[in-house]
Amino acid sequence: MARLLIRNASIVFPGDGIRSASGEVRVGNVLVGDGKILDVDASPSASCDEVIDADGLHLLPGVVDDQVHFREPGLIQKEDLAAASHACAAGGVTTFLEMPNTKPPAITVEGVRAKERLAAEKSLVNYGFYIGATPDNVKELADVSDVPGIKIFIGSSTGNLLVDEQAALERIFAETTLPICAHCEDESTVRANAERLGPTDDLADHSRIRDERAAMIATKRATELARRHRHRFHVLHVSTAAELEFLRDPSPYLTAEVCPHHLLFQVEDYDRLGSRVQMNPSIKTAADNAGLWQALCDDVIQVIATDHAPHTLEEKNQPYPQSPSGLPAVENSLALMLNQVHAGRITLPQVAHWMSDAPARVWGVTGKGRIAAGYDADLVLVDLAEQRTIRDAEQHTKSRWSPWDGESLTGWPVRTWVGGRQVWAASTGFDEAMRGSKPRFDHSRGGYWMTADGIGQ
C-alpha cells in the first residue's frame, strides 16, 4: 500500500476523558503506511508516495459511531448499507456499530455473520454488528465473542426483541460475558401514560408518553442489574438530566452516551420541526439539554453517538401517532459538534474523545479512536472555517432528509481515510472501489475505565 504523508496538520489528541486537562492540539506530520499510522512526528521530507498539505486544517481520529440503524436486511426502503456508509464517509465516520433490529433481527450468531457478509460487499467504511437479546436466546448470547456487544430493548421494540421481564434480564446479565447496552424506557410506564392521555394526534404528547419517569425507571433498573452482576453495561441515548443520578457514582461497569438530538433539540421544537424530531427516547427540555452537556464535560457520559434511524419522509409525514420515531444523523454529527467548537462551547480534544476514543474503548475496538503510532489510519481532516448549510437534497443517506435541513454550520470534514486509503474528499467525492473491514473486538481489556491510555492494538 502506498505511503501517505499528511503534512502541517493541526493534530487533535483526545486525552483520556478522566483528567479534564488532558488532550491537546499540535501541528505535526502524520506518516501512514500499510493501513497504519507509522509516525505522528514524521519529518516533512519523509519518504512517501503522496503528500497532503494540511496547513490550516485539523486532523482527527475517524469517528466511531456506536449506535446506528442501517436497516439492512429487510427495511431497505428506508436505508441500506451502501447509502449509509457513503453518509458515514462524508461525515467523517470511519467505523459504525449497527443495532440488531433488522428483518430478520440479528439474534443468532449466524444472523450477525449474514450482516457482516453484506457489509463486506457494500460498506465503504468499517463495520460491526451487535447481537440482539430476546427472552430466550441466552445460549446464543453466551456463545458469541467477536462482536461489539449485546443489545437489549428494555422498552418497546419490534418483533420479539422486547426484554422486559425481570427473570429474563437477570439471566442475560448473569450468564453472558459480552458488554451489554440497552434502550432504557420502561414499557409499563409508557403504556400507562398513553392510556392516561387517551387517543391523541398532538405530536408533543410523544414526550409526555415517553416521559422522564419512563427513562428513569428503566435506567435505574438496568444500572442496578449491572452493578449487582458486575457486568459491563452501556446506557444508550440518555435523554434526561434525571437519569444522571444513576450514573454519577463511579463504577467500572457503567458507561453512557448521548445523541446530538438530545443535546440540541427540545420539546418546543415540535412546533417548528414536527415529526422530524420524533424520537425514542423522546426529546425533552432545555434543562435536560444543559444537564447532558454538563454530564459530558464531567465524564458522567462518555460517548456521543447518533442513533441514526431513518424513515422515508412519506412515513414521517403521516399524522401522529402513525408517524414512526427516528431520524438520520450520521453524516452531520461531526459537523454539528464542530459547530459547537466554533461557538466556544466545547473543545476539539473533547470531540475526539467523545466521538472516537471513548466508543472504541467502551467496545474494545482495537486500533481505533486515536492518532498514534500503531493505530489504524482511520482519519478525518476538517476545516474549522468552512461554512455549509445542511440541505435535504444533498444528503447521502437513502432517506434524503435531515432534521437540521436549512441549518448553517461552521466546521466540516473535507477528507476521510479508512485504513490509510482516502474514501471520500469534498473536492473529488467517493472512492467507490473502497471497502471497509470488520475490526477486532477485544473485551479482555476491560472497557472504558481500564483503557485510559487508549485501546491500542
Mean pLDDT of 62-74: 98
Q: Are 154 and 169 in contact (CB under 8 A)?
A: yes
Q: Rounded to whole angstroms, how far apart are CA atoms 364 and 455?
A: 7
Residue spans per domain, the chain: 62-369
Q: How far is CA 345 from CA 65, 99, 210, 225, 264, in A?
A: 22, 31, 29, 35, 12
What was the pLDDT predicted at 16? 74
What was the pLDDT predicted at 264? 98
What was the pLDDT predicted at 85? 98
Q: Which residues of 375-410 are buried (b: 16+ CB within 10 A; e: fewer)?
A: bbbbbbbbbbebebebeeeebbbbbbbbbbbebebb
Q: Rounded to whole angstroms, how far apart are CA atoms 335 and 377?
A: 21
- DSSP notation for 319-369: PTTTSPP-B--TTTHHHHHHHHHHTTSS-HHHHHIIIIIHHHHHTTBTT-S
Mean pLDDT score across all residues of the chain: 95
Residue % of the chain over a pLDDT of 70? 98
The 10s digit of each residue's pLDDT in 175-204 is 999 999 999 999 899 999 999 999 999 999
What was the pLDDT predicted at 165? 84
Mean pLDDT of 149-175: 83
| Residue 136: active-site member | no
Q: Which amino acid is at 374?
A: G
The 10s digit of each residue's pLDDT in 106-143 is 999 999 999 999 999 999 999 999 999 999 999 999 99
pTM equals 0.97
Lowest model confidence (mean pLDDT) among 66-75, 147-156, 186-195, 346-355: 147-156
What was the pLDDT predicted at 158? 53
Confidence of residue 159 (pLDDT cuts 50, 70, 90): low
CATH number, domain 62-369, options 1.20.120.530, 3.40.920.10, 3.40.50.300, 3.20.20.140: 3.20.20.140
With 90 as the cut, is the pLDDT of residue 50 above it? yes
Catalytic option among 288, 307, 376, 383:
307
Grid coordinates representing 31 are 506518516
